[in-house]
Structure 1
Amino acid sequence: MKILEDFHLRHGAVLAGRVVQSPMVTRGSTEEGFVTEENIAYYDARSKVAAAIITEASSVSEHGLAFPNGLSFASDEHIEGLTKLAKAIKQNGAKAIAQLHHGGRESRVTLEREGTTYAPSQVNFSFLDHEPTEMTEEQIQSVIIEFGEATRRAIESGFDGVEIHGANHYLLQQFFSAFSNRREDDWGGSLEKRMAFPLAVVAEVKRVIVEANAPADFILGYRISPEEIHGDNIGYSFRESLKLAKELSKYELDYLHISLRGGYASTPIDESEQTSLAELFKEAIGPETALITVSEVFDLNSAEDALNYGDLVAIARAALIEPEFLEKIRQGKAEQIAQAISPQRMPIVKWPNGLIEWLTGENTLPDVPGIETIKK
Structure 2
Amino acid sequence: MNENYKPLVEPFQFKKGVELKNRIVLAPMTNFASNPDGTVSDTEIDYYIRRSKGVGMAITACTYVTPSGKGFHGEFGADNDDMIPSLKRLADALKEKGSKAVLQIFHGGRACPPELVPNGDIVSASAVAAEGSEHTPRALGKTEVEDIISAFGEATRRAILAGFDGVEIHGANGYLIQQFFSPHSNRRKDKWGGSLEKRMNFPLAVVQEVKKTAAEHADDSFIIGYRFSPEEPETPGITMDDTLVLVDKLADQDLDYIHVSLMDFWSEPRRGVDSGKTRIQYLLETIGDRAPLIGVGGIHTPEEAVKAIEAGVPLLALGRELIMEPDWVQKVEEGREDEIAATLSKNDQEKLVIPDYLWNAIINTPGWFPVKD
Question: TM-score of the superposition, structure 1-length normalised?
Answer: 0.94
Aligned pairs for 1:298-337 within 5 A:
298-309=300-311, 310-337=313-340
- The aligned counterpart of 1:100 is 105
What code does the residue aligned with 1:305 have? K
Q: Which moved more, 1:234-243 or 1:266-275?
A: 266-275
Alpha-carbon deviations, 1:178-198, whole Å to 9, x = none? 111000011000111000000
Residue 234 of structure 1 aligns to a residue whose secondary structure is coil
Q: Counterpart amino acid of 1:328?
A: K
Alignment correspondent of 1:163:
168
Report the Cα distance in structure 2 between the residues aligned to 1:84 and 1:121, rounded to whole angstroms.
37
Counterparts of 1:1-376 in structure 2 under 5 Å? 1-108=6-113, 113-212=118-217, 214-230=218-234, 233-261=235-263, 263-270=264-271, 272-309=274-311, 310-361=313-364, 367-370=368-371, 373=373
* 1:362 Cα deviation from its structure 2 partner: 5.4
Maintained 8 Å contact 1:105/1:132: yes
CA contact (8 A) 2:252 2:290 kept: no
Secondary structure in 2 matching 1:46: helix
Report the more deviating stretch, 272-281 or 127-136: 272-281
Q: Which amino acid aligns with 2:220?
A: A
For each residue in 1:295-318, what CA deviation from the matched residue of structure 2 results, as whole angstroms up to 9, or x when unmatched? 111111111111123111111100
**Contiguous gaps of at least 5 residues in structure 2:** 1-5
Which whole-Å CA distance do the structure 2 matches of 1:298 and 1:49 have between them?
Answer: 15
Is 309-318 or 338-347 further displaced after alignment? Answer: 338-347
Contact 1:227–1:237 (8 Å) recurs in 2: yes
Give, in angstroms, the shift of residue 258 of structure 1: 0.6
- Structure 1 pair 31–280 and aligned structure 2 pair: CA distance change class (3 A): same
Aligned counterparts of 1:166 and 1:66: Cα–Cα separation in 2 = 14
CA contact (8 A) 2:66 2:107 kept: yes
% identity of equivalent residues:
38
> 2:329 is paired with a residue of what secondary structure?
helix
Query: CA separation in 2, counterparts of 1:113 and 1:355?
Result: 25
Aligned equivalents of 2:65 and 2:114: distance in 1? 14
State the distance in 2 between where 1:158 and 1:323 align: 24
DSSP-derived class of the 2:200 partner: helix
Which consecutive residues of structure 1, in runs of 5 or more, have no partner in the other structure?
none
Amino acid at match of 2:325: E
Go from structure 1 to structure 2 and tell me whether the alpha carbon gap of 1:194 and 1:110 turns closer, same or farther (over 3 Å shift): farther
CA deviations 1:203-234 (Å, max 9, x no partner) are: 0000000001x13221111001111233xx13
Tell me the TM-score normalized by structure 2: 0.94
1:25 is paired with a residue whose SS is: coil
Root-mean-square deviation (Å):
1.6
Question: Aligned partners of 1:272 and 1:168: how far apart in 2?
Answer: 23
Return the letter of the residue paired with 1:313.
L
Asked if the contact 1:147–1:201 (Cα under 8 Å) also holds between the matched residues in 2, the reply is yes
Q: Provide, for residues 317-355 of structure 1, a one-character-per-residue CA deviation record: whole Å limited to 9, x for no partner.
A: 001111111111111111111111124432221111221
